[in-house]
Amino acid sequence: MELRQLGGSDLRVSALSLGTMTFGEQNSEADAHAQLDLAVSRGVNFIDTAEMYPVAPRAETQGSTESYIGSWLKHQRRDNLVVATKIAGPSRGFSWIRNTPRINREHLNAAIDGSLKRLQTDYVDLYQIHWPDRYVPMFGATSYDATQERDTVPITEQLQALADLVKAGKVRHIGLSNETPWGVAEFVKCAEQLGLPKIITVQNAYHLMNRSFESGLAEVCRHANVGLLAYSPLAFGHLSGKYLTDPNTKGRITLFPGFGQRYNKPNVPHAVKEYVRIAREAGLSPATMALAFARTRWFTSSVILGATSLQQLKENLDSAEVMLSAEVLDQIEAVHKRYPNPAP
């Protein structure tokens, strides 16, 4: 599988990576190990997780995902793998995580120590802020509302605490997730001004129905040498076409309806129908086309795959060598113009 440089770091990661948020809820520990074995056998060297996982988030299962990875990781050659995890941000009601998490020194120290213990490793290659400490519109919200601004940990303070984790050897590189153009630019500027570690990645949703990264973040990330880790490339399964066939089919949307509200938008079914049609007329599975599209964008460092079965994961991994024709790309652009970002 193709390896790509991760931002301005020395890390080289597979163009497809394994997301793990189903481990501990939809997938057992044995399932998790089987997925990890398959992914690595197919050339994946990058594994992404978070202290919050699995989803949907619950106090009873929080941390299980990292623990399942840890019981597998201890039997692997650690330096062959790039392992990423995330610290949870505030104000999403997850009071069971350190009595409501913040991105300050106290919480960063507690979070990384908990993650390392569960992962059974001495360090993580990439440590990410799962979502900002400050208010930003996210997870389906699209408009900034200044009345929602709240007390926040200054970015310089966050960076200084992260720098100490790097200095201690617990973290090799740092990144962001669910960030805005201003946030990425501010983290980069503060790091340069203070001589602190620079972010190398931003992990944001990116798929055929949410290409908002292309408008502002693409420019910022290009000039700052920050790579995109594209999550939800199949839009919670919508872009596989399975919900067109059976709206009640088993999946995250039907199992956890409150967790996928960003896809409850009026143009989503119309856009999905068109993308599925394009794929099938081109002799591709809809999932393969969607993954190939995300993988081949110039700003994408790695596409994060998520699957609940080995068959799903195998199909997703099979997309690694697929290149879309100019005709298919033109048809995709035509649909995008008709239904621009229906699920931001």
Q: Residue 319 forms beta bridges with which residues?
A: none
| Pick from 12, 16, 74, 3: nearest CA to 306 | 16
Distance from the first to the final alpha carbon of the chain? 30
Contacts of 15 (CB under 8 A, 6+ apart): 1, 2, 3, 4, 295, 300, 302, 303, 320
DSSP state of 213: G
CB neighbours of residue 290 within 10 Å? 29
Tokens of 248: 């009640």
Q: Do the strands 16-19 and 12-14 form a parallel or antiparallel pair, or are they unpaired?
A: unpaired
Outline where DSSP puts E strands in 130-218.
Answer: 171-177, 199-205
Tokens of 275: 């993308």
Instruction: Please tell me the total number of residues recorded for the chain in this structure.
Output: 344
| Pick from 271, 325, 320, 315: nearest CA to 292 | 320
**Alpha carbon distance 135, 151 (integer Å):** 9
Tokens of 214: 């292309």
Q: HSE, CB side, 13 Å, CA atoms: give it for residue 221.
A: 27
Catalytic positions, please? 53
